[in-house]
Amino acid sequence: ILAGPHDILKLYNPQGNIINISPQLSPNSPHCCYKLEVVAADCNSELLGTELAVALGFDLSSMEKRLQSLEKKILTEAGETPAIVHEMKSQVESFREKLENVEHLSWLGLFKDLSEATNKPSPFYHKRTLRKTREECEHVKEKFLQMSSLEVSEDVRQYLKTPTFDNWQWEDAEIMVLLQVMYADLDFISAFNIEPEVLQQFLYEVYQRYNNIPFHNFKHCFCVTQMMYGLIWLTDIRSKLDSIDLLTMLTSAVCHDLDHTGYNNAYQINARTELALRYNDISPLENHHCAVAFEILEKNECNIFRNLTIEQYKRIREGIIKCILATDMLRHNEILNKFKSILPEFDFSNKDHKDLMMIMIKVSDISNEARPMDVAEPWLDCLLQEFFNQSDMEKLEGLPVTPFMDRDKVTKPSSQTGFIRFVLFPLFIELANLFPCLEQHIIDPVRKALDYYTEMEKALETEKQNRTQSDKTGKSDILSVVTGTVPLETLRVKCLAQGHDGSKWDLNL
């Protein structure tokens, strides 16, 4: 392969995946051959310039000079440069910067040092370390302990029981106070003899073990728990299940994403991470969340279950594991179909029908679209950031790219319309069949969300079609002048006919 010192290369493994160019690569062999390609080259190279001239039918350097000359003539005669020219130059410059900036070259397979390090900056949250720092945690803990004895107003307590609660208005220390309120208002503290200082230490440890990532962070933990708490009150399920089941459900929500690093199970398995190896590719994340939860509870000062009987603890442990493992979306259809099959004869007293707890946490886990749009939409932005960071890393490491996470293929509305239709609605509707009161609280808002993103999708598609048509027309005229098939005077007259309005040229050139 011919490549110069300034050329950019990408490397493929025998399976056709882009891989990292690094000193750690396994040696090439006749049975395992790498494929190397030049994806960006030094255009000043005489050999390359000759090859391109032959391939394109004209010489790039002479065309560049002609373009500069034409631009000067248009500026002199028309009085200003057409907007389409500005746009094209901007696109070229943007692409040039992308090629020259290593931070944006993961898709080209350039080498990056992926070795582990203490407090290694997260690749998807550049300004903060993945793990919380000691200073960050101690600051939040101090604020939490100062607030923990304060009396929360009745208005806030009632607001906390609704799906419309706005998490963005609350800091982490305040969120821990609200979680404490939930345990108190459901009578868990008195019923299970949970000491206040133990509950506070448990919540603080939980806070510490949620990472600084865009979506699966401590605020997400709170949102899921708050929705679970709201559902418990809205459905009056307290009169149908005993307290130990409710404690299981709420604590499962608190712990359900502990130590999530921002990469889903598909990535864990394809990248052969430590978690995937430890759990044999079976729900590696969810198994890890469970393990971290009980690691926290093993500390006596954090064990909110330490005054339970052995039988009570065993029942809660089984329930928490069952609930957290149910949040693996790979099991979504299995769990939903089983619930649908027992729904016609559902019996709250039937132990085999306790799958309701799994449905409740699944609904809570993906319930953002049931919230007001000004609360829900920022969460979607966070989720897409995490998704795009994962797909970037998959491209960088030569792994299969998760389709719904690919920033080059996914838009905000397209990510939601299918998810709402085929995942949210079927799940939410079945729970509403058991609890009709939920129709107005979670079904109606999700319908509005679907309408919102459907309209957004249509608007984006229309804008894309208009831009494509405009670009085709404009670039065709410019290219005609560049190649000499249309006189410059014709283009100048066309511009003048539009009243020297740059925005009109942008649409009609």
pLDDT digits (tens, 9 = 90+) for 269-308: 999 999 999 999 999 999 999 999 999 999 999 999 999 9
pLDDT in tens, 91-137: 777 666 655 544 433 333 333 333 433 333 333 333 457 899 999 99
* Integer Cα distance of 500 and 158 in angstroms: 61
pLDDT of 484 reads 61
DSSP string, 178-231: HHHHHHHHTTHHHHTT--HHHHHHHHHHHHHTS-S-SSSSHHHHHHHHHHHHHH
pLDDT of 86 reads 76
Q: Tell me the average pLDDT across 59-71.
A: 73
Q: Tell me the average pLDDT across 460-489.
A: 70
Known binding-site positions for AMP: 216-220, 257, 365, 416
* Integer Cα distance of 507 and 280 in angstroms: 57
The CA–CA distances, whole Å, from 173 to 142, 188, 420, 431 equal 8, 21, 32, 32
The three-class DSSP label of residue 413 is helix
Q: Tell me the average pLDDT across 441-452.
A: 97
pLDDT of 507 reads 36
The dihedral sign for the CA sequence 107, 109, 110, 112: positive
Which of residues 182 and 31 earns the better pLDDT score?
Answer: 182
State residue 116 phi and psi, 5-degree precision.
Answer: -70, 150
pLDDT of 115 reads 40
Known binding-site positions: 216-220, 256-257, 365, 416
* Integer Cα distance of 69 and 65 in angstroms: 6
- pTM value is 0.71
Q: What one-character DSSP code corresponds to residue 9?
A: E
Active site residues per annotation: 216
